[in-house]
Structure 1
Amino acid sequence: MAMKRSLPRVRRGLPLRAVAPNAITALALCCGLTGIRFGISGDFEIAVTMIMLAGVLDGLDGRIARMLHGESRFGAELDSLADAISFGVSPALILYLWSLKDLPRIGWLCALVLAVFCALRLARFNAQIDLEEQPHKSAGFLTGVPAPAGAALAMLPLFFWVWTGEEPFRSPYLVAPWVAAMATLMISSVATFSWGSMKLRRNIRFEALAIVVLLGAAVISAPWHTVSALCVAYLISIPFSIASYARIKRLRAAPAVPGSAPIASAGHDVGP
């Protein structure tokens, strides 16, 4: 009796529910690349707007993928590639064309550092995505500054220049070390707050909603002032996130008291 030959397994394509989040990721990539186009033409305000729009879309694609149950390895790889271009290559070129070109060697080196360090951060995130032991993630923190925030921090002098018109903010002697420092924060092991893991108490949810409304109104009426203030606030939060993680680390290292409840984690990592 002849044995039946097993039919080869047919690989299934990308699920339809994964198309929407991947399309948003591709749109974010288009925004990042378009920012380079406006940077070349000298329209730096529009160029930065494209990068910020890419950041908004980057925050949406993951949430839509989880909502539609459309997560895929393809989507994760596409998201990392898009982030490397939108928040590494594009800001680096825009900043070089805006200011760093006046210091050709050092300026280009700092632009390279921003682009390469962003790619290294995303590569580290992908390499650790399947690891079970991730101290920062288990405690609800990110490792280093995420790519969109790092790009925004690197462009902070450009934000100030847009709404003040003051030429000192455009000085390459200020911009070059600033860009290098913000790029270093992206690949650092500094614990930073993961906003997706923060939970509000029931008694302050209405106040939080009011703050979001006020923030939205501020973005509409004075976008560059608001974005600059948010970047400064994020920088100020970093020492507090370091102290908070150090406290959680000490509590976890302390010997457990019989009958006491285990220390719960604050949440999970939500993105690179």
Structure 2
Amino acid sequence: MKDIESDTHKQGSLDSRSKGIYLLPNLFTTSGLFAGFYAIVAAMRGDFDHAAVAIFIAMVMDGLDGRVARLTNTQSSFGAEYDSLADIVSFGVAPSLVAYSWGLSSLGKIGWLAAFFYMAATALRLARFNIQDHSDKRYFSGLPSPSAAGLIAGMIWVAHEYAVPGHKICIIAAIITILTGALMVSNIRYYSFKEINLKDKVPFMAVLLALIILVFISIDPPQVLLGAFAIYVLSGPALALKRKWVHWKDKRKAK
């Protein structure tokens, strides 16, 4: 009888643990959603630096939820859909409203249209991602929405650090907002970094590089993050031009 009770208790513990692990990635997703919502609230209060930081926190949570789900083997259709909806808020609604409150509002109708275009592009980007064939996991088709949000948040954070009001650079902000939105719905390929497997051993140089990046970020987070995301955003068009150039040279050689 005791053995049966013991087995039942163990089974119950395993079931509880399984449910707990299953909830874990969704807790990260909820944390990211909360950060995106807080960014909107902070922007309404005029705390644009806090809003920018909240968007970056949402990015960290978004990067963790999927990896946690894979590491714990708890992927689910619910988690994928929930993550996509949270991304629309954190990387679509939040950056567009923060940018509008910060500086785009100075442009009147053009400003809110630029903000709406960015938000709509994010929704389209995420919808396309959900139905695409992901056979080649090395690349994304179009700029990922977290990276676009990182560029917007980095721009606002750096401007705040240097006491540059949004209305003084509202035209530049509008151009960046529209261009990042266009890149999200483009077919330009971006490196995904998904082939990095945390379960496997990684080279020592990779660990060292990660530490160096963290040190640089800690020195001046706003500038380093803005620079890093600007490089990544530009890497897509740059590689696309390089491929076209190589293709053009090969065609000339073939003649």
Q: Report TM bin, short chain.
A: 0.7 to 0.9
170 and 155 in structure 1: CA distance in 2 versus 1, 3 angstrom threshold: farther
What is the aligned counterpart of 2:130 among 103, 106, 126?
Answer: 126
Q: Residue 224 of structure 2 is aligned with which of 198, 223, 226? A: 226
Corresponding residue for 2:35? 31
**Partners of 1:68 and 1:176 in 2: CA distance:** 41
| From 59, 64, 81, the counterpart of 1:60 | 64
Measure the CA separation in 2 of the matches of 1:79 and 1:27. Answer: 11
Residues 249 and 59 of structure 1: CA distance in aligned 2, closer, same or farther (over 3 Å)? farther
Q: Give me the whole-angstrom Cα distance separating, in 2, the residues matched to 1:243 and 1:104.
A: 35
Q: 1:40 aligns to what SS in structure 2?
A: helix
Within 5 Å, give how 1:1-272 maps onto structure 2. 16=19, 17-128=21-132, 131=133, 137-138=135-136, 140-167=138-165, 170-197=168-195, 205-242=203-240
Measure the CA separation in 1 of the matches of 2:245 and 2:72.
Answer: 37
The one-letter code matched in structure 2 to 1:233 is: I
Q: Distance in 2 between matches of 1:78 and 1:56?
A: 16
Cα offset for 1:139?
A: 6.5
C-alpha separation in 1, matches of 2:187 and 2:95:
22
How high is the TM-score relative to the length of structure 2?
A: 0.80
Deviation digits for residues 216-244 of structure 1 (CA, Å, limit 9, x no counterpart):
12222311121012122213422454367
How far did 1:111 drift? 0.6
Count of residue pairs brought into register by the alignment: 226
In 1, distance between residues paired with 2:246 and 2:203?
25
Secondary structure in 2 matching 1:82: helix
Query: Which sections of structure 2, spanning at least 5 residues, go unmatched?
Result: 1-17, 249-255
For residues 195-226 of structure 1, the C-alpha deviation after alignment (integer angstroms, 9 at most, x for no partner) is 12268xxxx93333222112112222311121
User: Which amino acid in 1 is paired with 2:39?
Assistant: G
CA distance in 2, matches of 1:66, 1:243: 35
Show the counterpart of 2:8: none
TM-score by length of 1: 0.76
**Aligned-partner Cα distance in 2 for 1:113–1:168:** 19
SS at match of 2:194: helix
State the identity as a percent.
Answer: 31
Distance 1:25 1:239, change over 3 A: same
Q: Which residue of 2 aligns with 1:260?
A: none
- The SS at the match of 1:195 is coil
Counterpart contact for 2:143–2:233, Cα < 8 Å: no
Further displaced range: 101-110 or 208-217: 208-217
- Decide whether the 8 Å contact of 2:106 with 2:167 is kept in 1: no
| Aligned-partner SS, 1:165 | coil
Shift of 1:171: 1.9
- For 1:97, the aligned partner's letter is S
RMSD of aligned C-alpha atoms?
2.6
Aligned to 1:4: none
Relative distance call for 1:116 and 1:236 in structure 2 (3 A) is: closer
More helix by share: 2
Could you say which residue in structure 1 is the equivalent of 2:252? none
Which residue of structure 1 lines up, in the alignment, with residue 12 of structure 2? Answer: none
Deviation at 1:174, TM superposition (A): 1.3
